[in-house]
C-alpha cells in the first residue's frame, strides 16, 4: 500500500515537472536558435561606399550604372553589388565642424554668419540631419545635434567667441563618435571642416582622426579659412589630405566660404552609394578603390580605406 502511494506521488510529480522541463528545454533551444541567427547575421559584413563620379573635365556623371564600375578591395575585384543608387536617395547626416581657436579670431564672425545662412537658406530633405561642433581651447562644444536648422539652436552661434589653442584632431575624433552613434544604415554621414588646418593641442593624432572618419564612412569637405594672401602653410596640406583620403573636396584659402558650403551640398547630392559583401574576412585595414569598367575616362572620389572590425 505504501509503495503504491509512493509510485502514485512520483507519477504526479513527473506529470507536473515534465511539461515544465520541456518548456525550459524548448526555450533554451529557441534562444540558441535566436543566438545562432544573430551570429549568422553578424558574421556577414557589408561594405558601403559613397562616391562621386566625373569625367576628366570635372563634369558630374549623373547617369552612372552598376555595370560602369568595379571595386578593388584589398586586391579582390567586386563587380556585383548588393545595392547601387544615387546618393540623393539617402538622408544626409551632416556635421559642420567650425574652428573657433585664437588663430581664426579675426574671421570668426563672418564664418558664423556664413554657416547660419547656409543652414537656414539651403534646401534640406525631411530626413536630413545637421549638427554643429565648434572647437577652440581644451574642449570642443556641440552647439546642436541633428536639429541645427532650428532658429533657437542657431542663435547659440552668435554668442561664440574665438580663443585658445586648436584641438583639430580631437574635434575630428569626437565628430566621428557623434556620427557613429546613430547606427542607421540609411543615413549618409559627411562633415564640413572650416579651419586653417593647424592643430596645436590634440591628444589624438592625424592618423587616429582619419581612421575614425573612414570607419564611420564620413567624407570630409575641408574649407580653408585662411586668406589667399597668406603664404602656403602646413595646414593647407593637412586639409587636402583629410579630404582626399575620405572622398571629400578641399577648398583653397581665400575662396568665399558661403560659395564653398553650397558647392559641398551640391556635391553631396550628386554622388552614388553602393554596398557589397566583404570579400575576405581579414582583421585590419582594407584599401579600396573604385575603377571604371567601360569608360576609362571616368574619375571617382571615395574613401581610400576602412577597418574590417568596424564595418
Please report, for the domain that includes residue 267, its CATH number: 3.40.50.410
Structural domain ending residue among the three candidates 26, 43, 60 = 43
Place of cell 545562432: 36
Average pLDDT (259-268) is 96
Res 225 pLDDT > 80: yes
Phi-psi region of 159 (alpha: psi -120 to 50; beta: other; left: phi over 0): alpha
pLDDT attached to residue 228: 85
33 lies in the same domain as 110: no
DSSP conformation letters of 47-100? EEEEEEEE-TT-PBP-S--GGGEEEEETTEEE---SEEEEGGGS-EEEEEEEE-
pLDDT in tens, 11-67: 443 444 434 334 333 343 333 333 333 222 333 478 999 999 999 999 999 999 999
102 lies in the same domain as 145: yes
22 lies in the same domain as 122: no
74 lies in the same domain as 189: yes
How many domains does the chain divide into?
2
Report the SS3 class of residue 152: helix
Contact 112, 158 (CB under 8 A): yes
230 lies in the same domain as 267: yes
Full-model pTM: 0.82
147 lies in the same domain as 294: yes
Q: Which three cell numbers stand for residue 111?
A: 564664418
pLDDT in tens, 176-213: 999 988 667 889 999 999 999 999 999 999 999 999 99
pLDDT attached to residue 5: 43
Sign of CA dihedral 211, 213, 218, 223: negative
143 lies in the same domain as 34: no
pLDDT attached to residue 44: 43
76 lies in the same domain as 9: no
Res 98 pLDDT > 50: yes
Mean pLDDT of the chain: 85
Q: Which three cell numbers stand for residue 243?
A: 579630404
18 lies in the same domain as 110: no
187 lies in the same domain as 303: yes
Contact 50, 306 (CB under 8 A): no
50 lies in the same domain as 26: no
293 Cβ neighbours under 8 A, 6+ residues apart: 67, 68, 69, 70, 79
Q: State the Cα angle at 258 between 58 and 168, rounded to 5°.
A: 90
109 lies in the same domain as 130: yes
Q: Which three cell numbers stand for residue 281?
A: 574576412
Full domain range(s) for residue 177:
46-311
Res 247 pLDDT > 90: yes
Longest distance between any two alpha carbons in the chain, whole Å: 110
Average pLDDT (67-74) is 96
Amino acid at each position: 500500500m505504501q509503495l503504491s502511494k509512493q509510485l502514485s506521488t512520483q507519477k504526479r510529480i513527473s506529470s507536473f515537472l515534465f511539461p515544465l522541463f520541456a518548456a525550459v528545454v524548448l526555450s533554451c533551444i529557441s534562444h540558441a536558435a535566436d543566438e545562432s541567427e544573430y551570429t549568422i547575421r553578424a558574421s556577414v559584413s557589408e561594405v558601403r561606399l559613397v562616391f562621386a563620379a566625373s569625367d576628366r573635365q570635372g563634369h558630374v556623371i549623373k547617369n552612372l550604372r552598376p555595370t560602369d564600375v568595379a571595386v578593388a578591395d584589398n586586391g579582390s575585384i567586386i563587380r556585383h553589388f548588393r545595392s547601387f543608387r544615387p546618393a540623393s536617395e539617402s538622408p544626409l547626416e551632416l556635421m559642420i565642424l567650425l574652428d573657433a581657436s585664437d588663430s581664426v579670431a579675426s574671421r570668426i564672425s563672418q564664418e558664423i554668419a556664413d554657416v547660419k545662412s547656409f543652414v537656414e537658406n539651403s534646401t534640406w530633405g525631411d530626413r536630413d540631419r545637421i549638427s554643429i561642433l565648434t572647437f577652440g581651447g581644451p574642449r570642443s562644444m556641440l552647439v546642436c545635434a541633428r536639429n541645427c536648422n532650428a532658429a533657437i539652436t542657431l542663435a547659440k552661434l552668435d554668442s561664440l567667441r574665438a580663443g585658445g589653442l586648436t584641438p583639430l584632431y580631437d574635434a575630428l575624433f569626437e565628430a566621428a563618435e557623434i556620427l557613429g552613434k546613430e547606427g542607421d544604415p540609411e543615413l549618409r554621414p559627411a562633415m564640413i571642416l572650416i579651419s586653417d588646418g593647424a592643430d596645436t593641442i590634440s591628444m589624438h593624432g592625424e592618423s587616429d582622426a582619419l581612421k575614425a572618419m573612414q570607419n564611420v564612412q564620413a567624407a570630409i569637405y575641408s574649407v580653408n579659412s585662411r586668406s589667399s594672401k597668406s603664404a602656403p602653410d602646413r595646414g593647407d596640406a593637412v586639409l587636402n589630405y583629410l579630404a582626399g583620403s575620405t572622398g571629400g573636396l578641399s577648398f583653397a584659402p581665400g575662396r568665399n566660404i558661403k560659395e564653398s558650403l553650397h558647392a559641398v551640398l551640391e556635391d553631396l547630392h550628386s554622388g552614388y552609394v553602393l554596398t557589397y559583401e566583404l570579400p575576405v574576412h581579414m582583421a585590419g585595414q582594407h584599401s579600396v578603390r573604385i575603377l571604371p569598367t567601360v569608360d576609362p575616362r571616368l574619375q571617382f572620389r571615395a574613401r581610400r580605406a576602412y577597418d574590417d572590425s568596424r564595418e
